[in-house]
Amino acid sequence: MKKISYNAPLTLTFTLCSVMVLLLNRFTSGLTNLNYFSVYRSSINDPAFFIRLFGHVLGHANWGHLMGNLLLLLILAPMLEEKHGTKKLGVMFLWTAAITGLVNLILFPHILLGASGIVFMMIVLSSFSNNGRKSDIPLTMILVMILYIGREVAASWVMVDNISRITHITGGVVGVWFGFKS
């Protein structure tokens, strides 16, 4: 008889933590996200600054926001975790969280939360699969950048909503960097 396995530890732990953070945020009437799981301009001397810089990827505004990110995360992350290893992909998650958080802090005064930067990093990173010669530029990566990142650039010019397009674009660029470094 087959048993259920915890096959992708980073992916599954990240998913569980994100769900728990959303539940905790609901229980605290939004205080948890505000204090620990969203990044915004504040003093670097505030001890929670660094928690927020990395923790914003676990915070989500609502169930729809969370499910949108988790759907792609649960599709892409297990494959990337198998290819790159749990530890290496975890480091990629941390770097992506920090870079997207810092870009938001530098360019925009508003609050950022959610895992979409990590999701876009993984979308682009996955396009490097089957790139036998590391010196080559994968055509799949070029097409993903045109379709996914191009859509975000275009949307940033014409749409006014609460979606942080710069986080998607930054996550995609970080994915390119990891793709060439891996």
0.75 exceeded by pTM = yes
State pLDDT tens for residues 43-96: 999 999 999 999 999 999 999 999 999 999 999 999 999 999 999 999 999 999
Looking at the structure of the chain, the number of domains it has is: 1
d(CA 143, CA 155): 17
Is residue 82 included in any domain, yes or no? yes
Structural domain containing residue 109: 9-181
List the CATH number of the domain containing 172: 1.20.1540.10
pLDDT tens sequence across 107-143: 988 899 999 999 999 999 999 887 766 678 889 889 9
List Cβ neighbours of 21 (8 Å cut-off, separation of 6 or more): 32, 33, 37, 58, 59, 60
Q: With a cut of 90, say whether residue 12 has pLDDT above it.
A: yes
- State residue 150's pLDDT score: 85
**For residue 167, what pLDDT band results from cuts at 50, 70 and 90?**
very high
